Amino acid sequence: MTESLERFVQAQASTYDRALLELRHGRKEGHWMWFIFPQLRGLGISENATYYGLRDLEEARDYLHHPLLGPRLECATRAVLDSEVTVEKLLGTLDAMKFASCMTLFAAAAGEHCVYAQALEGGVNVDSRTLELLKERERKNV
């Protein structure tokens, strides 16, 4: 397992509970999207998007298998799916796109019948750019 995941553990230490509370109350207010719902590095250009972006499918799988981060991602995802408001209303338009990227990445990492695939089946748009980047990185590693 990669030690680089420690950056997420540290970032979530003071924000995860608050983020989950915001999701359960139907409105995201804080600035925690990058490290609660990470996406593939290369999708965003901000410093946070780069720092918290996951390198590839292997690092996404490591994230899922991490004893703290994996369960937290699943719990936060379920909170979004259980919300009575739309993803766009809950997260805002830009962060709803980041959520779609995150769900696309982790559905690819976890496989069928996972909560991330359920999110995509339930109306969250598959992010085609995430799939393109995954294919590009897979070709480079072959």
Q: Which CATH number fits domain 3-141: 2.160.20.10, 3.30.70.380, 1.25.40.380, 3.30.56.10?
A: 1.25.40.380
Question: Alpha helices, DSSP H only, in the chain?
Answer: 6-13, 16-24, 33-36, 47-52, 57-65, 69-82, 87-91, 93-110, 115-121, 128-141
Which residues is 40 bridged to in the sheet?
Answer: 54
On the question of pLDDT at 142 being above 70, the answer is: no
pLDDT tens digits, one per residue of 85-99: 999 999 999 999 999
**Domain boundary assignment for the chain:** 3-141
pLDDT of residue 139: 85
pLDDT tens digits, one per residue of 33-64: 999 999 999 999 999 999 999 999 999 999 99
Q: If we measure between CA atoms, which residue out of 36, 31, 34, 33 comes closest to residue 12?
A: 36
pLDDT band, residue 3 (cuts 50/70/90): low
pLDDT of residue 140: 82
pLDDT tens digits, one per residue of 29-38: 999 999 999 9
